[in-house]
Amino acid sequence: MSRYDFIKMKKKLAKYLDEERFAHTMGVMYTCASLCMVHGGDLGDAQAAGLLHDCAKCIPNKKKIRLCEQHHIEMTSFEKDHPFLLHAKLGAYIASKKYDIDDKDILSAIRYHTTGRPGMSRLEKIVYIADYIEPMRDKAPNLSRVRRLAFEDLDECMYEILKDTLDYLEENPREIDQTTVEAYRYYKEVHNDRKDR
């Protein structure tokens, strides 16, 4: 038996997410599980992180800001201007308070699932990547290649996804969060260091 009551968690989550988001969430949860089977780690933790990664996604933007203020969750001015980004931070908070998750790595995987960050843990990478490649996703470029890469090499896959995400965001450079840029630079360096060896 898993330490997690996934049935109970899913029931609760279904109340806070719309149908489409819930379906995406299931895709992410099972994709996290599959990636964990290949790359290692705790299967229950991977599923819990995937299941809860977007738990704050359907909260209206104004309310996201208000909740962050109420619970003393620090916001950058960029996040205040782009409140959809807050669903990651706020999601980590809700996962800990409302879903009794106390594992730091799970909470951090939720926290950084939108931007990534330099030096991510295996679980953080698994959630970030699963969010991008789950079966319902269909808009990103190079998806079939990225999907294969996800099961071969997490760091290379992070580099590829961050590169494609920034290429897409470059259309409106003012929209780019510094954390995304820092994550990209980090995984680009990992990529280049390997090539040189």
Interface of this chain with ligand DGI, residues 37 to 66, rule: CB under 6 A? 54, 57
Least Å distance, CB 5 to ligand DGI, is 24
Closer residue to Fe ion, CB minimum distance, 106 or 194: 106
Joined together, the tokens standing for residue 37 give 């089977």
**Integer Cα distance of 183 and 197 in angstroms:** 22
Joined together, the tokens standing for residue 128 give 């970030």
Quick note: the x/- pattern for ligand DGI over 138-177, rule CB under 6 A, is ---------------------------x---x-----xxx
Is residue 31 part of the contact set for ligand DGI (CB under 6 A)? no
Distant-in-sequence, close-in-space partners of 127: CB < 8 Å, separation ≥ 6 = 28, 32, 46, 49, 50, 53, 109, 110, 113
Angle, CA of 9, 136 and 12, to the nearest 5°: 15
Least Å distance, CB 169 to ligand DGI, is 6
Q: How many CB atoms lie within 10 A of CB 83?
A: 18
CB 157 within 8 A of CB 150: yes
* Residue 15, CA distances (Å) to 9, 68, 166, 196 in order: 10, 21, 33, 50
Closer residue to ligand DGI, CB minimum distance, 101 or 133: 133
Least Å distance, CB 90 to Fe ion, is 11
Least Å distance, CB 165 to ligand DGI, is 5
Is residue 23 part of the contact set for ligand DGI (CB under 6 A)? no
Binding residues (CB under 6 A) for ligand DGI: these are 24, 54, 57, 82, 113-115, 131, 165, 169, 175-177, 180
Binding residues (CB under 5 A) for Fe ion: these are 54, 131
